[in-house]
Amino acid sequence: MKIVCKNDELISAINIALRAVSSKTTMAVLECLFIEARNGKILMTSNNMELGIKTEVPGRIDEEGQVAVNAKIFSDIARKLPVGNINISVDENYSMFINCGKAKFRIAAQSGNDFPVLPEIKKDSFITISEFTLKEVIRQTIFAVSDNEATKIMTGEHFEINGKNLTVTALDGHRIAIRNIELKKVFDDKDVIIPGKTLNEISKIIEGDAEKEIVIYFSQNNILFELENTIVLSRLIEGKYLNVKQMISPDFDTKIKINKKELMDCIDRATLLVKESDKKPIIISIENSSIRLNMNTSIGTMDEEIDVEKDGNDLLIGFNPKFIMDVIKVIDEDEITIYMTNSKAPCFIRDEKVSYNYLILPVNFSTAR
């Protein structure tokens, strides 16, 4: 194999492919990038058996061939080369020669014959979505995905397509994050669970351009994201997702409208007093046109008042401060509205169009503080 490519273009491709390279594996070949130069295309593939990425490297092929090379070493070298054209060649013993300017590297590589190629999937069922929308949807829900592998279903996000509507749901037993998006046209109904890890990697690969469309193909067990010069293939999580609709209620007895930044700063300060090990609630006392937030731990106490617009009853309610923070961090509006019923019932943070809807369970606390 003999190829020539440009520094920055090689590094961009490596950065994408690295996202599916195994770090902990007993199969050394999964720590490799698999490079094929054939039919006028240079393709770089990585595969950790859950997630696979194939991306094109712009460049010139002087001799076709293939090679698998340790991803970390190859990536480190590529990054440190002087700016210019990089000549990469592989001899019959799979020694790889990397030349750029006056710098000449030789490293050991392998044939890549045992590299697990990405399976082909049927391209009949699909949706299209802009990079921007997909990236936003992931950012606004991914924090609620469970990291407990024991309940596999909750480690993924539910993507449900219904006519023109896409509903994305994540939950972990204490909270639910829902985003409703209107797609640009009607697609076939679909209902899949995509691993949270896959969505995390996808959202790092895509730039979030509102003009660029991604095609997402669905097969029985896999999902394929087709980007500009890259495809990302992932397994789906098997099983039936939880029915969250029955947990969501539009009713409330107390509604407050609050400045997002003030609430965020206040919770930020309150959590200073919480040691990692203990789970202290932030207690919110809603009275008239202000709320008082209180945190009380072994380190000390904090009290703060914030002005709000209130509808309905007064209320004393406690929350895990992290759960509130996770939600308000991803909301773009300056004001948020919180709907509550009583100190034991779930609270909801949602906008009027219900383009987002977050459910958070309150925390029990002793009122004898």
Question: Binding to a copy of itself by residue 268, rule CB under 8 A?
Answer: yes
Give the one residue of 114, 272, 278, 309 binding a copy of itself; rule: CB under 8 A.
Answer: 272
Alpha-carbon distance of 261 to 302, in angstroms, equals: 18
User: Can you tell me the distance from the alpha carbon of 6 to that of 13, in angstroms, rounded to the nearest whole number?
Assistant: 11
- Contact letters (x/-) for a copy of itself, 302-331, by CB under 8 A? xxxxx-------------------------
Question: Which region, judged by CB under 8 A, interacts with a copy of itself, from 80-88, 140-148, 207-215, 223-231?
Answer: 80-88
CA dihedral 315, 320, 324, 325 (to 10 degrees): 140
Tokens of residue 3, six digits: 């190829």
Distances in Å between the alpha carbon of 220 and those of 119, 128, 176?
13, 18, 26
Is residue 94 part of the contact set for a copy of itself (CB under 8 A)? no
Distance CA 5, CA 42 (A): 9
**Taking contact as CB under 8 A, which single stretch among the options 27-35, 111-119, 266-274, 333-341 is the one that binds a copy of itself?**
266-274
| Per-residue tokens: 138 | 């992931």
In this complex, which beta carbon is closest to a copy of itself, that of residue 108 or of residue 210? 108
Query: Which residue type is seen at 240?
Result: K
Minimum Å distance from CB 282 to a copy of itself? 13
Residue 199 Cβ, how far from a copy of itself at the closest point, in Å?
31
Under the binding rule (CB under 8 A), the answer on residue 178 touching a copy of itself is no
Residues facing 125 on adjacent strands: none
In contact, 231 and 54? CB cutoff 8 Å: yes
Query: Which window, 6-14, 73-81, 195-203, 242-250, contacts a copy of itself (CB under 8 A)?
Result: 73-81
Reference 304, options 210, 256, 296; nearest CA is 296
Give min distance, CB of 149 to a copy of itself, in A.
Answer: 32
Q: Write the interaction track for a copy of itself spanning residues 97-116; mark x where CB under 8 A is met and - where it is not.
A: -----xxxxxxx--------
Q: Cα 61 to the chain's mean position, in Å?
A: 35
List contacts with a copy of itself (CB under 8 A).
73, 76-77, 80-82, 102-108, 265-266, 268-269, 272-273, 299-306
